[in-house]
């Protein structure tokens, strides 16, 4: 078989696999929808593995027991399309969302998992529209990115979440942080340096034969970093039941796969943490970042998504 023909066959196989997997996911999603469970505050850590949070939770005084849940998606867009659905419309209408990942906003704008036109022939999503939420604060649409990485600092999301919690009468608050999703910025920011290759493009680094332990440790440091903000959030909002979870996990070369491809029912991608605690607004922190005007800044959002590897 000639190389052009082989490439075409491989490309078609990948497109067909995505179509079949997302077609099944859109009709009968695996996993548990978070709206079917009890919580007042849901903290979503992007790309946080169950085993990673279980390990780090033992080091920090933020969470106790970390259980596992099975996510309804292996990527943010699949998770969002399968989470914010018509079946939970009434719950969604009483929910405030503060979201640091513009991919969620794009998914809700499109009301699907942003699949290819070919895959759209197979899918049947019932994702709700953005205006169904009591509040939907898409922070990347207006907040400036951190210069080294090109994406938001978690503290901006924390500020907006505390402000929304204190000023809106929502039954539920969902807060979506970017870390520990790459790029891994925590150490570079602390050391006041530019990001190394393994921090900025960790999966390219691994595909080129890089040291997995170096990337894994940077990933854990990113998780420790965002948990500082989770701790701050839990001390400045009220929630009888607060849960820390993730939209999906992450792959570092398992079965030859990296990052978090959409539609893949691999346990290391789908097993996410589910750690229950509580939150009390002590009034110890006043948010520093105020939301500017209501205009969407699509170009800035697109740039931040490109830095996250979505470009």
pLDDT at 5: 35
β-pair type (67-70, 271-279): antiparallel
pLDDT at 8: 42
pLDDT at 10 over 80: no
Contact 148, 189 (CB under 8 A): yes
pLDDT at 3 over 60: no
Averaged pLDDT score across all residues of the chain: 91
Percent of the chain exceeding pLDDT 90 equals: 81
Joined together, the tokens standing for residue 205 give: 């680094």
pLDDT in tens, 52-107: 999 999 888 889 889 999 999 999 999 999 999 999 999 999 999 999 999 999 99
Q: What is the mean pLDDT of residues 286-306?
A: 66
Closest CA to 289 of 132, 145, 170: 145
pLDDT at 6: 39
pLDDT in tens, 26-52: 999 999 999 999 999 999 999 999 999
pLDDT at 293: 65
- The boundaries of the domain holding residue 186 are 3-307
pLDDT at 60: 84
pLDDT in tens, 211-264: 999 999 999 999 999 999 999 999 999 999 999 999 999 999 999 999 999 999
pLDDT class for 7, splitting at 50, 70, 90?
A: very low
pLDDT at 307 over 60: no
Integer-rounded Cα radius of gyration of the chain = 19
Domain count, the chain: 1
Q: Could you give the angle at which helices 102-110 and 76-83 cross, rounded to 10 degrees?
A: 50
pLDDT at 183 over 70: yes
In angstroms, the CA 250 to CA 238 distance is: 31
pLDDT at 311: 53
Instruction: Concatenate the DSSP letters of all residues of 241-306 into one string.
Output: EEEEEES---EESGGG-EE--TT---HHHHEEEEEEEEE---------PPP--S---HHHHHHHHH
β-pair type (135-138, 95-99): parallel
In angstroms, the CA 86 to CA 148 distance is: 39
pLDDT class for 308, splitting at 50, 70, 90?
A: low
pLDDT at 22 over 80: yes
pLDDT in tens, 124-161: 999 999 999 999 999 999 999 999 888 999 999 999 99
CATH of the domain at 266: 3.40.720
pLDDT class for 15, splitting at 50, 70, 90?
A: confident
């Amino acid at each position: 078989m000639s190389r052009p023909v082989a490439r075409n066959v491989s490309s078609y196989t990948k497109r067909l696999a995505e179509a079949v997997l997302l077609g099944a996911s859109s009709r009968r999603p695996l996993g548990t929808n978070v709206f079917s469970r009890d919580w007042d505050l849901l903290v979503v850590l992007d790309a946080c593995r169950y085993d990673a949070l279980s390990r780090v939770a033992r080091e920090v005084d933020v969470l106790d027991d970390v259980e596992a849940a099975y996510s309804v998606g292996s990527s943010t867009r699949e998770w969002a399309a399968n989470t914010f659905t018509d079946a939970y419309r009434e719950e969604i209408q009483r929910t405030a969302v503060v979201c640091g990942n513009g991919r969620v906003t794009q998914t809700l704008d499109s009301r699907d998992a942003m699949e290819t036109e070919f895959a759209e022939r197979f899918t049947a999503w019932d994702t709700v529209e953005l205006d169904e939420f009591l509040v939907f604060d898409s922070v990347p649409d207006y907040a400036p990115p951190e210069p080294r990485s090109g994406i938001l600092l978690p503290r901006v999301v924390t500020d907006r979440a505390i402000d929304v919690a204190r000023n809106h009468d929502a039954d539920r608050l969902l807060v979506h942080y970017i870390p520990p999703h790459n790029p891994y910025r925590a150490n570079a920011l602390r050391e006041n340096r530019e990001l190394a290759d393994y921090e900025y493009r960790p999966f390219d680094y691994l595909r080129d034969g890089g040291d997995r332990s170096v990337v894994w440790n940077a990933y854990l440091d990113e998780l420790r970093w965002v948990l500082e903000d989770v701790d701050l959030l839990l001390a400045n909002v009220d929630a009888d039941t607060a849960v820390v979870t993730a939209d999906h996990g992450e792959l570092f070369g398992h079965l030859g796969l990296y990052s978090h491809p959409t539609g893949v029912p691999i346990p290391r991608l789908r097993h996410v943490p589910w750690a229950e605690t509580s939150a009390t607004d002590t009034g110890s922190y006043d948010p520093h970042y105020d939301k500017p005007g209501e205009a969407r800044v699509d170009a800035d959002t697109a740039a931040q998504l490109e830095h996250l590897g979505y470009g």
